[in-house]
Structure 1
């Protein structure tokens, strides 16, 4: 509450009191602390309420949220230019100037003021100071703002409850970043329209575009621009410092294009608190954010020095420590209107209370004083009602940002109409219609939009315009139409959808892009045309700029295999129909279209077109052969691991020993017996190189698990490279046969896939390593259940394990009168013969192996890890713990 005491010079003494039945609480803290969300929750918990915001954009955003909770009929939106007030409205979302000022029984149950630290703002501070001191909720009042406000609220509002809230996420400084290296989901903040346009234009050219947000935009335009960013259509947003006032965006980084601004009086550097208010928009909820400056042309001062934060500023922003506010600007909120001089005297009065300072001359007072010097106006102010009405006209905001002189002329023209009564509806409709034209560039539309806001404000006044509701509706319709046109112009100028799509295509999610080859040969990415295919050659869109051409070529190169595959499939389907690979040839039904001859490796056969097709014209034959080759490359994709072996063999890092192993493995289609692999000559330091290729060095086999799947094996058979039987499902265990299918090893009367056999061997070695000798017991247990689950019988399991050096012992008889299950049958292990013994003689081919070892399943070489170390055999009764652990380590490394 305020009590006025007149004194000489119209000085006033301010006395603040609190409502006895109202809880007053200040919730203070940095950005991203959930203060506004808390206020919304508290208001919705009361029977009525109101929240005042610094921007109508923020008021509109929160209005939409509360309306979704409470319904349209219960919510009102009141700003200078817009008024949506249903008859039964109980919850009001307003700008600070439009907040309801009812007191006592007429007050709302809940009231909140957002960004209350703006009471220290030169232009609007006196508005926030008045609301902070004098506007209260009937049951609860909440002040939201920066922690810098704490000393002042404690001083001016005795007994207030102060609650500090920590930031949900961390804010970190990352230094200066070039525009071309800005991370996605970044905001670039500038402090002039020219710089906003400059940065947005550069982003359009090099990064696909950006959304543009400025305080002068209408809520519709701002929302649609923000939606461009939120939906991911663009990854960048360029904004003025209006972004710092509660705009909730999915931002990861904020880059400052400048660190100074014109505050209406002079060009000055931002304070650390102002920097933090903007930088704090990075990182929402639990997601951390970063901030920095923009290097390059857009981020340098006039002197050419790099744009950088000082160490003190970085510390203050990251730690949220700022100098406290020491004064709030005040101006008489209810000046007397007896005469023009009394009105001006009250508005120029200085506060007597410590902590309050007289507000600098705002534009409304500047206009009042200029017009007060005109005799024609002062003579018309014959009553207190006329003075009050004239002051209301002077308070018309300068939406067009013309300055005090030009704005005073506009107000004088307005007053000439108001002093005779109301402004005619025809005149207002004509002005709105004239301003509502959507032709013109961005600056023209923005100028009309700011001008229409003036008429929207005029039409909201209760006694200024005839047919007020109709004119207000026309003004809103014109603003919406201009907003749509401005959004379209901004998008056309600053968003290159094709470039934006291509830039996303260069990232980690490029494989998820929708690349299409249209029937007419046009190539599109996410619906945006980038060129066309002439035959199998990509041609960039002729209308593309030089920068876009580079992106299109890069995107086409990344997706060229998919494009050419589509083209080849279409060409083949049109000219040849469905094709398949069988018996070393490409066939259409039973007809041979091309034969597949041995190439550099099994995965790269050479395609030779059938003689019948050789009679085609050279141009058509060449196109068809190219299409067939592309089709074949796509069909051979399952053999990529085999092709990888051949490429690795040519890598200088491999060395001669590993190269020999890789060539042997490639020649035998990804699986070779350990005794034939020459592992004794492969240094242990080369084993990681083999593992990176996907090669497994097992106890009895060296193999690539990726090539043991049905697809690669079936394809090798169809190519005529591996003539052995291929199992459709490649089961773990199958019945034994004279000629084993590819990828299997004999296990007694059955056969087991080599990777499954290796799984059994490793499980046994792990048990051997963990076992220790118990009193009266020798050996170690082996999990037979694992083999049984695979389908391997106990007898065949013992035969397989014998090949790897494992021997099953005799059952341990239980002592007399002992109860419980019998002890597991102990197993022992002794290393088979060394690999180097096998390398001293020529490797056997597939037709050999009918001797004793082949028939019994014994290995002729030393497959276990101890063979690599050249250790001697281990007696069966020797404890296995130490050597077994070392052996297991080597095995796992292999």
Structure 2
């Protein structure tokens, strides 16, 4: 066509017309080429080349020097054949006319167009039948052909689960959606494409194998087996130019019977490209008379005059015309112009495919709207706006696309809609948005790019997998997230389906040792700011790195790495554990007094009584009450030894003051050694609670830290001692300044001192009418009778062997 001064080509599909339009425009320029389809018209002024759908081709060929009809064998199609036949018989170029089609059309072309020159273009590659294959055994770059939307969806869903997904192509999809789905396959994002027999026409695919999920289809009248020529049209998608292809059937998907299989005759016909020639073409009067509706219908149903032609079956446009001609809506359709216009409205394609009744009602409403001459722009804009909704599932979006295609067709008519160009532009924009949304839904449902990438990598060396670990802990392969690493623990992406989780885990684990080893070494070389002790374990950003196993005789526990750390490469594991042990030793420095107690308790020179007390202090994690300490058995000469390692002998408690600070208490709690309640800041006095925090003792309605309680009690004893030294009186006045400054309430001061043997004598109030400062309370120390420091052993009775032994001991 480009070699002629002008040209017009007709294509069976809108997407084919668009594809060739783009190619010719690249050669001749934007202003020289027009695109005319039912839903889109791009007609630059002075355009010399036209790319059209067959239905939209001007019958005179626009006077072009060159005219071509693609897929001319569709003249034998039940639904559209009469249109192709009309173009085949009547459209001619001034210089050249070309009919492109299958060889089965040759006898009829010779009969109907005797002057035609027949040229053959043999297929360079060969097609080979390889028999049935299970879905799991299909080779990559395969197309699976099914003949119902349900079967297409079922096969695509299985491929998503086992092979990462598939592109989906069906006749009900808009051309834009089909192109985008095909692009998924052509770009290699998926290795499989599932389609209806729409794949057999107008789609040039990089396919190596075609698998038939069935060999029968519903042709609009009945279920029938595909003809060998139709099988070859579909199987011929396999192989390109000089690259051979294969075809076969899909087994394992038919639950109710044997899988479909080709006969030997069909295999021979497809492999050798030998098919029965067409015996007739469908025809319908292309130029009916519009004198009346009856005359119009009679002309459309008139039989052809040539034996090579057969009357076309009743198409949807004629069925709609007959249905509406009997209804009141057609009562005023009498004049020639009205009949022509009524026929044009009835010729509206049934994009929605919802049956003749629904389509006839839509056409009737359209005719009523056109009765005034034009459809208002506001009304059309409102209808388009109703469809401008991207929400919904696949079926919902398909329905909206079909509806918007109807309005796009209506807006293309030159005399139907006011502000035609603007409305047509709006309709195309909404269709494009809906097509994008449908493509996204199909991809979301039937394509798992992550699985597809991993399936391609199966069997490869782990080092070859392009798995990456981001700074945020995201593990991905070629941009697809496999999961997240928190600490050194890998978690599969929670959005992954259950059946995909095992594959993702297996893929990640191939590269994780290397990636986690690098991360562990980086951690070992850092300052470990994010490391902490909690719950008897070392944690990094909340994730466990090692559990701590306590040992007798020391406060420093053993570091037991968790499974993820133990699985690291040896070098990284050794470096990380050494770094953790060094960090732990530095962290536990505030517990040095407790470590001294451990060493002293194991010292044989300490004596059994001192060791017993030390063991009680260690068990109490730094403090123990005098009642439980066993201090009555401790020789006084051992007390300096214990004070030297930080032990304080208080009035009520024996404790190590250094271990009552916030840092050591928090450490003991984090190590899991002290399971009592923790007061984080170790405040001097807190409100009493049911569960006494570690390091505190009760003082009435409050609790006071043990070392501060001892400070208060020691001050009371010093005051008592001074009073006795001065006037040898048992009773004395106590200054409350110290306990009040610590935070004790006056009533609770008496409770605390009372525990240590102090008793208060409340001062009598001043007599009525007497003024002056109140009399102070008087205190005295009256400790309860204590047990003797060492219990005197019971004397055995005389005449007993133990009595004689006691005498020897004395």
Q: Same fold (TM over 0.5)?
A: yes
Instruction: Give matches, 1:167-246, under 5 Å.
Output: 167-246=123-202
CA distance in 2 between counterparts of 1:624 and 1:550 reads 21
Are the equivalent residues in 2 in contact too, given 1:60–1:219 (CA < 8 A)? no
CA shift in 2, pair 1:341/1:168, >3 Å: same
CA distance in 2 between counterparts of 1:114 and 1:512 reads 47
Instruction: Give matches, 1:213-362, under 5 Å.
Output: 213-297=169-253, 300=254, 303-362=256-315
What TM-score, normalized to structure 1? 0.59
Instruction: Give matches, 1:542-691, under 5 Å.
Output: 542-571=494-523, 574=526, 618-619=559-560, 629=570
Are the equivalent residues in 2 in contact too, given 1:188–1:236 (CA < 8 A)? yes
CA shift digits 1:705-762 (9 cap, x unpaired): xxxxxxxxxxxxxxxxxxxxxxxxxxxxxxxxxxxxxxxxxxxxxxxxxxxxxxxxxx
CA distance in 1 between counterparts of 2:154 and 2:562 reads 53
3-state SS in 2 of match to 1:60: helix
3-state SS in 2 of match to 1:549: helix
Are the equivalent residues in 2 in contact too, given 1:535–1:623 (CA < 8 A)? no
Are the equivalent residues in 1 in contact too, given 2:377–2:418 (CA < 8 A)? yes
Structure 1 residue 373 displacement after superposition:
1.4
Aligned to 2:57: 99
2:469 corresponds to 1:517: yes
Aligned to 1:650: none
CA shift in 2, pair 1:181/1:616, >3 Å: farther
Q: Return the match for 2:377 from 407, 419, 425.
A: 425
Aligned to 1:388: 340
Are the equivalent residues in 2 in contact too, given 1:572–1:627 (CA < 8 A)? no
Structure 1 residue 409 displacement after superposition:
1.2
CA shift digits 1:70-107 (9 cap, x unpaired): 2222221111011111113222111110112226xx52
Structure 1 residue 473 displacement after superposition:
0.9
CA shift digits 1:413-438 (9 cap, x unpaired): 11112222111111111111101211
CA shift digits 1:665-702 (9 cap, x unpaired): xxxxxxxxxxxxxxxxxxxxxxxxxxxxxxxxxxxxxx
CA shift in 2, pair 1:566/1:305, >3 Å: same
Structure 1 residue 571 displacement after superposition:
4.2
CA distance in 1 between counterparts of 2:565 and 2:220 reads 72
CA distance in 1 between counterparts of 2:443 and 2:189 reads 11
Structure 1 residue 524 displacement after superposition:
1.4
Structure 1 residue 331 displacement after superposition:
0.5
CA shift in 2, pair 1:451/1:510, >3 Å: farther
CA distance in 1 between counterparts of 2:567 and 2:89 reads 81
Structure 1 residue 508 displacement after superposition:
5.3
CA distance in 1 between counterparts of 2:19 and 2:119 reads 25
Structure 1 residue 568 displacement after superposition:
4.9
Aligned to 2:37: 79
Structure 1 residue 537 displacement after superposition:
5.6
Structure 1 residue 621 displacement after superposition:
11
3-state SS in 2 of match to 1:44: coil
3-state SS in 1 of match to 2:365: helix
Instruction: Give matches, 1:704-719, under 5 Å.
Output: none
Structure 1 residue 512 displacement after superposition:
4.8
CA shift in 2, pair 1:522/1:361, >3 Å: same
CA distance in 2 between counterparts of 1:565 and 1:238 reads 43
Aligned to 2:46: 88
Are the equivalent residues in 1 in contact too, given 2:291–2:339 (CA < 8 A)? yes
Aligned to 1:480: 432
CA distance in 2 between counterparts of 1:631 and 1:139 reads 80
Aligned to 1:797: none
CA shift digits 1:259-285 (9 cap, x unpaired): 111111111111111111111111112
CA distance in 2 between counterparts of 1:290 and 1:489 reads 31
Aligned to 1:373: 326
Structure 1 residue 360 displacement after superposition:
0.8
Aligned to 1:409: 361
CA shift in 2, pair 1:626/1:546, >3 Å: closer
Q: Structure 2 stretches of 5 or more lacking a match?
A: 529-555, 575-810
CA distance in 2 between counterparts of 1:291 and 1:112 reads 31
Are the equivalent residues in 2 in contact too, given 1:517–1:567 (CA < 8 A)? no
Are the equivalent residues in 1 in contact too, given 2:147–2:197 (CA < 8 A)? yes
Aligned to 1:133: 89
Structure 1 residue 53 displacement after superposition:
0.8
Are the equivalent residues in 1 in contact too, given 2:465–2:511 (CA < 8 A)? no
CA shift digits 1:452-483 (9 cap, x unpaired): 10111011011111111111111111111111
RMSD: 2.4
3-state SS in 1 of match to 2:34: strand
2:71 corresponds to 1:118: no
3-state SS in 2 of match to 1:169: coil
3-state SS in 1 of match to 2:345: helix
Aligned to 2:480: 528
CA shift in 2, pair 1:224/1:513, >3 Å: farther
CA distance in 1 between counterparts of 2:291 and 2:478 reads 68
Structure 1 residue 498 displacement after superposition:
1.9
CA distance in 2 between counterparts of 1:83 and 1:317 reads 39
CA distance in 2 between counterparts of 1:163 and 1:291 reads 27
CA shift in 2, pair 1:568/1:359, >3 Å: same
Structure 1 residue 245 displacement after superposition:
0.7
CA shift in 2, pair 1:451/1:621, >3 Å: closer
2:418 corresponds to 1:462: no
CA shift in 2, pair 1:630/1:456, >3 Å: farther
Aligned to 1:154: 110
CA shift in 2, pair 1:51/1:530, >3 Å: same
CA distance in 2 between counterparts of 1:573 and 1:531 reads 26
CA distance in 2 between counterparts of 1:542 and 1:621 reads 23
CA shift in 2, pair 1:245/1:199, >3 Å: same
CA distance in 2 between counterparts of 1:620 and 1:239 reads 53
Q: Structure 1 stretches of 5 or more lacking a match?
A: 1-42, 577-614, 634-894
Are the equivalent residues in 2 in contact too, given 1:571–1:627 (CA < 8 A)? no
CA shift in 2, pair 1:134/1:627, >3 Å: same
Structure 1 residue 491 displacement after superposition:
1.3
Query: Which has the higher Rg, Structure 1 or Structure 2?
Result: 2
CA distance in 2 between counterparts of 1:277 and 1:123 reads 18
What TM-score, normalized to structure 2? 0.65
Are the equivalent residues in 2 in contact too, given 1:191–1:260 (CA < 8 A)? yes
CA shift in 2, pair 1:549/1:137, >3 Å: same
CA distance in 1 between counterparts of 2:78 and 2:488 reads 66
Are the equivalent residues in 2 in contact too, given 1:48–1:109 (CA < 8 A)? yes
CA shift in 2, pair 1:575/1:322, >3 Å: farther
Are the equivalent residues in 1 in contact too, given 2:488–2:565 (CA < 8 A)? no
Structure 1 residue 115 displacement after superposition:
0.6
Structure 1 residue 317 displacement after superposition:
0.8
CA distance in 2 between counterparts of 1:76 and 1:397 reads 22
CA distance in 1 between counterparts of 2:304 and 2:231 reads 30
CA distance in 1 between counterparts of 2:81 and 2:209 reads 30
Structure 1 residue 307 displacement after superposition:
1.5
CA shift digits 1:351-390 (9 cap, x unpaired): 121211111111111111111112x244311211111111
